[in-house]
Amino acid sequence: MGMTARLAERSRHGLLDAFGRHPDSVWIVVEGVEVSIPFGDLEKGNIVVVQAGEMIPADGAVTEGMATVDQHILTGEARPVERGSGEQVFGSTIVLSGKIHVQVEKAGEESTVSKITEILNSTVDFESSTQLRAKLLSERLVKPTLIAGGVALPLLGFNGALAVINAHPGQKLMIIGPITIMNYLNLASKQGILIKDGRSLELLNQVDTLVFDKTGTLTETQPHVGGIHCHADYDEDEVLRFAAAAESKQTHPLARAIIQEAERRSLVLPTIDDSEYKIGYGLTVEIEGKQVHVGSERFMAAENLPMPVDLQQRQTLCNREGYTLVVVAVDNRVIGGIELLPTIRPEAKAVIAQLKRRENIEHMYIISGDNEIPTRKLAQELGIDNYFAETLPENKAGLIQQLQREGRFICYVGDGINDSIALKKSQVSISLRGASTIATDTAQIVLMDQGLTNLDPLFDLAAGFNRNMDRTFTLTLI
């Protein structure tokens, strides 16, 4: 194996080994006792004990304890994160401080890092168009090189003729390309960008139109409390306290937003005596001897609880603006409503401004299932001129194809939840779903930190890759 080939192989192993590390042995809890077992014997359902300085051996959920975890190998984020009971952790990440028990959900080849390694292993074998061009040229140069060697033989002797033949650029062209690809995949992974399809690095340079999904991409999946409207002599904290207590056992985004607002106000929540969850409508609970209803206007109507005129007017406004109004009633009397607004990602405006400065990006669109007004307001706030509102998931792909028929080269940025077909139809697709779904994500590129921050650097990376490949191609021929 030549020096160049050895360098390529070393680059390949360096990239893959970064995700392939694991401890030789792990500690698990067996009948209340901590026992050491080989890493290879770890199974789904085991409770693993991980202390400060140790590597988490598998994907799972924390069942006990609190720890600070370094996840930069997956997300590219240098800042450590805190993880406690019920929260997700990933294999090959490091506990910096604290001690946690983790119930294994995915071990061995099923773990996130193993899936990443598998994806990278296939991606490094991708051949760019520059490489294919180089291979074709290399094949065409074989015959002229042999002729040149034959001409050189009587003039320069055997060694001279051999030198002429060895000057054939084919071998260099075959090896330098993969090295460049692996270097850029390594750079991307260090920034928290997983390239699942190497072609996307080339195609990003051709993109002239960016299409953003709204919910989960430009906005957070969880809204925030924008206002509390009171009635019947109750104040804001009282309305919020009843609502948060009723929602305390729920995990959906609206419930989390209400509970977080109560926590922000340091409200002490009463214990729920009994609860009955009516799917699609709301909650009926017993709190401090009072019957509490929490839900939509429709839920209140179903429970024969009339809405005060001021709240009816607020509901009409919320419907028009695309906001959510959670209504609260105590002892068969509506006492107020909590207005929930979409939360724009904090980095979204700056990222959109960066992307608009790129010469090749000519158009940007927002695509949303929400109604016209909130979609238009978001577009205006972010400085995006075009949008599609009230779009069903199954119609998103059709809009992408419509833009393509108009000659657009599309990069679709979504969360991958209800837009998998649109992701597939686009020339380049980017997902924000992060590490937990890389195996099933249909996107070509995954932003592992689940934010937009790395979007502009990704385009820089792609531009650098293409410049480097073209330069390498030219210099090798010279």
Confidence of residue 4 (pLDDT cuts 50, 70, 90): very low
pLDDT score, position 265: 95
Vertex 264 angle, CA 259 and 268, to 5°: 65
- Mind listing the pLDDT tens digit for each residue in 387-406? 998 887 768 888 999 999 99
Give the tens place of pLDDT for each residue, 195-211: 887 788 889 999 999 99
Q: How far is CA 85 from CA 51, 165, 223, 233, 430, in A?
A: 15, 66, 23, 39, 31
Q: Which amino acid is at 82?
A: E
- 3-class DSSP state for residue 433? coil
**What's the pLDDT tens digit per position in 405-459?**
999 999 999 876 567 778 888 999 998 866 445 444 578 888 887 789 999 999 9
DSSP summary character for residue 268: P
Band (pLDDT 50/70/90 cuts) for residue 23 is: confident
What six digits make up the tokens of 244? Answer: 């948060």
- A 10 A CB-CB count for 159 gives 9
For residues 188 and 198, what is the distance between their CA atoms, to the nearest angstrom? Answer: 11
Cα gap 271→283, rounded to integer Å: 15
Return d(Cα 118, Cα 227) in angstroms, integer.
48
Question: Of residues 335 and 162, which shows the higher confidence score?
Answer: 335
Indicate the pTM of the whole model. 0.67
The token pair that represents 211 in the structure block: 């299409």
Expressed in angstroms, the distance from the first to the final Cα of the chain is 24
Judge residue 422's burial from the number of C-beta atoms within 10 Å of its C-beta, 0-12 exposed, 13-18 middle, 19 or more buried: buried
pLDDT of residue 3: 45
Q: What's the pLDDT at 159?
A: 72
pLDDT value, residue 361:
95
Any idea what DSSP says for residue 39? G
Residues 381, 386, 389: CA angle, nearest 5 degrees: 90
Per-residue pLDDT at 342 = 87
| pLDDT grade for 279, boundaries at 50, 70 and 90 | very low
In a 3-state reduction of DSSP, which class is residue 75?
helix
Residue 278 has pLDDT above 70, yes or no: no
- Our measurement of the distance from residue 55's CA atom to the centroid of its chain's CA atoms, rounded to an integer in Å, reads 23
Among all chains, which residue has been given the structure tokens 């603006």? Answer: 321
Average pLDDT of the chain? 81
Is residue 298 within 8 A of residue 278, CB to CB? The reply is: no
Tell me if 77 sits within 8 A of 192, measured CB to CB: yes
Domains defined along the chain, listed by start:
22-118 (2.70.150.10), 193-220+346-453 (3.40.50.1000), 224-341 (3.40.1110.10)
Q: Distance between CA 440 and CA 444 in Å, rounded?
A: 11
Phi, psi dihedrals of residue 131, rounded to the nearest 5°:
-65, -45
Both tokens of 81, joined, read: 């994160």
Q: Residue 375 contacts by C-beta under 8 Å, 6 or more apart in sequence?
A: 214, 322, 366, 368, 387, 388, 389
Per-residue confidence (pLDDT) for residue 242, from 0 to 100: 95
CA distances from 77 to 15, 190, 222, 445, 460 (A): 18, 9, 22, 17, 18
pLDDT in tens, 286-323: 888 899 999 888 889 888 999 999 999 999 998 888 78
Mean pLDDT of 149-157: 71
Q: Each residue of 208-252: pLDDT tens digit? A: 999 999 888 898 878 899 999 998 889 999 999 999 999 888 877
Q: Report angle CA 465, 417, 358 to the nearest 5 degrees.
A: 35
pLDDT band for position 471 (cuts 50, 70, 90) = confident
Are 101 and 63 spatial neighbours (Cβ–Cβ below 8 Å)? yes
Higher-pLDDT residue of 140, 27: 27
Distance (Å, whole) CA 276 – CA 281: 11
How many residues in the chain? 478
pLDDT at 312: 94
Rounded Cα distance between 313 and 308, Å, is: 9
Closest CA to 314 of 354, 294, 341, 292: 341
Reported as a single tens digit per residue, the pLDDT across 154-195 is: 777 777 666 666 666 666 666 666 677 778 888 888 888 888
Tell me the per-residue pLDDT of 182-191, one tens digit each, with 9 for 90 and over. 788 888 888 8
Quick one: angle between helices 3-17 and 112-123, nearest 10? 150
At 9-20, the pLDDT tens digits run: 554 555 445 555
pLDDT at 207: 96
Q: How far is CA 476 from the centre of its chain?
A: 38
SS3 content of the chain, % helix, strand, coil (to 5): 45, 25, 30
**Beta-strand pair 209-213/363-367:** parallel
